[in-house]
A and B are shown apart, each in its own frame.
Chain A
Amino acid sequence: MNLTLHVWRQNGPSDKGRFETYQANGISEHMSFLEMLDFVNEKLESEGKAPIVFEHDCREGICGSCGFMIDGKAHGGQHRTTVCQLHMRSFKDGDVLTLEPWRAAAFPVLRDLMVDRSAFDRIVQAGGYVSVRSGSPQDANAILVGKEEVDRAFDAAACIGCGACVASCPNASAMLFTGAKISHLGLLPQGQPERYRRVQAMTQTMDEAGFGYCSNHGECSAFCPKDISLDVIAMTNRDLMAAQVKGRSEG
């Protein structure tokens, strides 16, 4: 199949950037979207032009490196699919596609379709962990956890930190990501001692990074490749309110 691509090209963080149009001809429907771009890049390089830069690593939908907007939809908008797992069979011959990087003040564009997501790392560093004493390991299953809590914690833990939530949110809010990390740990017994300190520190770091607020549009969850539920945001709000009462002295 043959496609027309309008791709955002930006030489570096300080470059203004612009759209450029490329033809992608002879694309196989079995290629992944990133393989299609590899193919386009080979041609660009053979012509002595700079290849389109995009981030990728596992190409299995588990690392969260890849991701950009395809025609105004994060990761192309296919249910539970990252752009590396999106296949060209979901497109038609003659399609015209617009490729844009995630747009958020907290995610500055490094080059072309690649943004700097280190703001997410800072949020996790602020409290997205559980402190444990080192020493001999505990017996497995020594701490009992209810099945429902485990399931909810596991659903939240599925977040790969790709940034599609921020990209899709009309306010560029990072509440789905931050809420997923907070809920994942806050639902488990191991996460309890730091629960209220965590929610305060992580949401404060989120604000400082320059993300917007949540107005419950629900776009984040709708485009999340891991289907993280909006409920993690409600839980974060609840925990932050509780923290004003329970954990204030810690914060």
Chain B
Amino acid sequence: MRWFLKFAGSTIGLKIVMAVSGLLLFGFVIGHMLGNLQVYLGAETLNAYGATLQGMGPLLWVVRLGLLAIVLAHIGSSVALVRLSHAARPQSYKKVQPRASTYASRTMRVSGPIVLAFIIFHILHLTQGAAHPELQHCVTGADGALQCFVHENVVSAFSLTGANVAYKAFSVVFYVVAMVLLGLHLGHGAYSMVRTLGLSNPRYDRIARALATAVTLVIVIGNCSIPIAVAVGLVRTAGGH
């Protein structure tokens, strides 16, 4: 155990903690998006998917707590590393002209906290409901089957009709902005993770970078499409709205 703590506390060890947790979160983001894209398959499919997840019972909490632990490892390692970085250059340059770094790589410390704020909002918005007054929670029907209203909730959260239009418009904008920042974060993160884990090979470096960008673009476009599709009326509930 002692050797592990020593390793995990070194700068490279902390980077590896960050890379591995980042990789797991990257996988989660892809899975989450694929699940959500079922919104385009109609209310029945999406609601059934929601009921399946909710029906997992205690297992759902195992997954949630696991995700929380991964997020905490990711944040903890980044806080430790940023502090090291400040200590390593107490006096900054009067002038610097970066050449190889990218906008995404230089703004990781900004995009990260904003994405975190978004995740908290997102949970209060579409899971817990504190930020979404019209949210309908799952109910157990007369036949004992779990009935969920994911589709209705997504529509009432972003459709620019009815009450609270300004708040819903803000939600759409916040989701889109957060996804673009998530894209920047993942774009550099995926590339950096490959290098940190020593998986890079000079021969495939270009391909790795292109692949990281492509997957990131798919995530940004896929996720942004949902609130936008609802806002412009492409996705609506059967009953109207």
Which chain A residues have a beta carbon within 8 Å of chain B's beta carbons?
6, 19, 69, 71-73, 77, 98, 100, 103-106, 170-173, 203-204, 206-207, 210-219, 221-223, 229-231, 233-241, 244, 248, 251
Contact = CB atoms under 8 A, between A and B. Distances in A.
B89 A77 contact: no
A217 B198 contact: no
Question: Which of B90, B191, B196, B199 has the most A CB atoms < 10 Å from its CB?
Answer: B196
Nearest to B81: A213
B161 interface: no
Given A72-B94, A72-B96, A172-B85, 19 more contacts: A72-B95, A77-B97, A77-B99, A98-B94, A105-B88, A170-B101, A170-B106, A171-B88, A203-B12, A212-B81, A213-B84, A214-B12, A216-B105, A216-B196, A218-B105, A222-B99, A231-B200, A244-B4, A244-B7
B99 A103 contact: no
A143 B17 CA distance: 39
Contacts of A236: 12, 198
Given A72-B93, A171-B88, A244-B3, A235 B15 contact: no
B177 to A, nearest CB: 23
B145 to A, nearest CB: 48
Contacts of A238: 197-198
Contacts of B106: 170, 217
A230 B191 CA distance: 13
B22 to A, nearest CB: 12
A221 B100 contact: yes
B137 interface: no
A251 B7 CA distance: 11
A213 B85 contact: yes
B16 interface: yes
A233 B195 contact: yes
A103 B12 contact: no
B133 interface: no
Contacts of B191: 216
Given A235-B198, A238-B198, A103 B92 contact: yes
Nearest to A171: B85
Interface pairs A-B: 6 shortest CB-CB? A238-B198, A212-B88, A218-B100, A217-B101, A222-B100, A72-B95
Contacts of B197: 237-238, 241
A98 B95 contact: yes
B192 interface: yes
A91 B222 CA distance: 49
B141 interface: no
Contact of B195 (A6, A100, A104, A216): A216
A71 B95 contact: yes
B239 interface: no
A207 B10 contact: yes
Contacts of A106: 88
B240 interface: no
Question: Which of A203, A216, A219, A251 has the most B CB atoms < 10 Å from its CB?
Answer: A216
